[in-house]
């Protein structure tokens, strides 16, 4: 088992034990799930986003995860940082509702990247070509790539 798999398993156990609201599933997604370097992305599936309480957020804070307050649509995002000065992300939690369109898109995208080495290579090349962008623009461009290349294919 690789170091990144061990890190994911540790985070998975922590999330299943930490949150008061029932966590239905925890999945490793994104580039690090494919064996690449970068920010570890974790999909956390819960019955309802409204069930995520202030207490859940405080527990995540105690575990080193802080909510990102952006206009995310139908998801909550928490990040773990290498340090709180540089704010370089180490791990990002994408918390979505079970059986939601958002959850199904994440799962389908990961399945497609895992099953198609050509698509995964295209994704890696695209990310390399946009690395120069500022973080917000980089994330937006990446989301556009997923929307154009993957969301319309399943």
What tens digit of pLDDT does each residue of 107-151 get?
Answer: 999 999 999 999 999 999 999 999 999 988 998 999 899 888 876
Range in 51-60, 73-82, 100-109, 130-139 with the lowest mean pLDDT: 51-60
pTM for the full predicted model: 0.90
What is the span of the domain harbouring residue 106? 3-153
Specify whether the CB–CB gap between 73 and 106 falls below 8 A.
no
Q: What per-residue confidence (pLDDT) applies to 151?
A: 67
Which residues in 5-128 belong to E strands, given as ranges? Answer: 25-29, 40-46, 65-67, 76-81, 89-97
- How many domains, the chain? 1
* CATH number for position 105: 3.30.460.10
Chain centroid to CA 20? 20
At residue 36, does pLDDT exceed 60? Answer: yes
């Amino acid at each position: 088992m690789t170091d990144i798999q061990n890190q994911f398993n540790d985070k998975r156990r922590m999330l299943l034990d930490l949150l008061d609201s029932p966590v239905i599933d925890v999945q490793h997604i994104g580039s690090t799930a494919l064996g690449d370097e970068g920010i570890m992305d974790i999909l956390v599936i819960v019955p309802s986003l409204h069930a995520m309480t202030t207490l859940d957020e405080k527990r995540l804070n105690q575990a080193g995860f802080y909510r990102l307050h952006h206009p995310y649509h139908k998801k909550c995002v928490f990040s773990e940082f290498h340090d709180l000065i540089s704010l370089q992300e180490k791990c990002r939690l994408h918390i979505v509702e079970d059986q939601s369109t958002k959850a199904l898109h994440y799962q389908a995208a990961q399945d497609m990247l895992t099953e198609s080495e050509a698509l995964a290579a295209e994704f890696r090349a695209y990310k390399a070509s946009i690395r120069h962008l500022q973080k917000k623009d980089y994330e937006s461009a990446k989301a556009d790539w997923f929307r154009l290349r993957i969301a319309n294919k399943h």
